[in-house]
Structure 1
Amino acid sequence: MLNLHKAEFVRSAVKTADFPQDPLPQIVFAGKSNVGKSSTINRLLNRKNFARVGNEPGKTIHINFFRIDEKVYFVDLPGYGYAKVSKKERDRWGRLMDEYFASEDTMTLGFQIVDIRHKPTADDVTMANWFLQTGMPFAIIANKHDKIKKSQLEGSLQTIRETLHLPEEIPVIPFSAEKGTGRDEVLALILDHISNE
């Protein structure tokens, strides 16, 4: 089991040398700037303000590493697709992502967070391709499940799967950072992958 109360912020990485060098598994979270990435991490840990929830999207421009129970890292990638970020910042972001994904043994399991209410954007498709190219296990967290009607759920999940060109084996998990829906499924997936490490 994982003691989720034992969580600590380790560091913000701006370059490859800042990535942790120990062999702990790394669970990676990616998503658009305003999709509720920090809220999702906070919900998984049942902590209110652990991963900072920014008022302004696009504020996380580093890769943030959190160590959970001395057993695993949660890795919070910078939010993408925010228009007000300068081209220079976007390029820096892209290089940092390239370096992270190119590093050996960095990722154990990836989660891409999308908004269940909307068709994924071109940036979402690019991010999904990045994950798929690593060949590492990966899943989609379809956040804001509490904001849609029950009757819309199947269609929304299908749209996400088709737009991101996901192979059948990639799970798409309906999730609500607000209400906690989907939390158990996401944690089960994490525990499954770190116990196989």
Structure 2
Amino acid sequence: MEFFETAFVVSAHRLDQLPQDNLPEIVFAGRSNVGKSSLLNTLLNRKQLVKVSSRPGKTTGLNYFLVENAAYFVDLPGYGYAKVGKDLRTQWGKLITSYLQTRSQIACVVVIMDLRHGVKHLDSELLGWLRQHGVPFLTVYTKADKLSGNERSRNSSLLDAGHGLRPDERIIFSATSRLGREPLIERLQTIAGIAKR
């Protein structure tokens, strides 16, 4: 399965800059440096459509990508990066909270976590907020290629338990080996109503 038509649309820093149509939006959220940009590039089969940076905190707006003229993939700024100035972190937080609270087009929030790490407070907060507000979500555990099969199983079970997730609420993923790419594409096509090709 592939997404053949993909285009960058806008990097929005205010809600009035968001697209005005009613296409479904799949939102990608995660802590800084969890591999969000690499995941998006792998999903869309592009090398640098989403800029990958070795410097966490590079994404500063809501970056919209039109996929198959049927849905938007929305790349949020990474959260939890201490070296970004406090004012910018506050600004991001207000923008993202307002966006998640008011945007009726959101079909799903893809919450991305690094499989190598344990349960993080900010991830728990986000999942709790999404549950409380009834926002659909799917969790993706990235960087699976950096662990052995046994380590993947152990770490994914620990994250599941720590976040109260069922195995069907998450996908194990690697941008390097492309593990999990097809199941993730299939889930997102179903969620957003993107026709399968």
TM-score where L is the length of structure 2: 0.92
Cα distance in 1 for residues equivalent to 2:173 and 2:133: 24
State percent identity of aligned pairs: 38
Indicate the SS of the match to 1:108.
strand
Deviations 1:153-186 (A, max 9, x none): 22211111122233x3761111001111000111
Aligned to 1:179: 177
What amino acid is the match of 1:37? K
Aligned to 2:64: 65
* 8 Å contact kept, 2:23–2:105: no
Aligned to 2:146: 147
Indicate the SS of the match to 1:139.
strand
Cα distance in 2 for residues equivalent to 1:93 and 1:45: 25
* 8 Å contact kept, 1:7–1:68: yes
| 1:138 matched to 2:137 | yes
Q: In structure 2, which of residues 182, 185, 189 is the aligned counterpart of residue 191 of structure 1?
A: 189
What amino acid is the match of 1:153? R
Cα distance in 2 for residues equivalent to 1:112 and 1:195: 20
After superposition, residues 2-151 of structure 1 pair within 5 angstroms as 4-151=3-150
* 8 Å contact kept, 2:34–2:113: yes
Cα distance in 1 for residues equivalent to 2:123 and 2:159: 10
Structure 1 runs (4+) greater than 4 angstroms displaced? none
* 8 Å contact kept, 1:117–1:148: yes
Following superposition, the deviation at residue 133 of structure 1 comes to 2.8
Indicate the SS of the match to 2:111.
strand
Indicate the SS of the match to 2:117.
coil
Cα distance in 2 for residues equivalent to 1:76 and 1:83: 20
Cα distance in 1 for residues equivalent to 2:20 and 2:109: 19
Cα distance in 2 for residues equivalent to 1:79 and 1:104: 19
Q: Which moved more, 1:79-88 or 1:103-112?
A: 103-112
Structure 2: segments with no counterpart, 5+ residues:
none
Following superposition, the deviation at residue 6 of structure 1 comes to 1.1
Q: Pairwise CA RMSD of aligned residues?
A: 1.7
What amino acid is the match of 1:47? R
What amino acid is the match of 1:190? L
What amino acid is the match of 2:181? R
Cα distance in 2 for residues equivalent to 1:136 and 1:170: 17
What amino acid is the match of 2:104? D
Deviations 1:78-129 (A, max 9, x none): 0011110111111111101111111141310111110001103111112222
Count of matched residue positions in the alignment of Structure 1 and Structure 2: 194
Following superposition, the deviation at residue 37 of structure 1 comes to 0.3
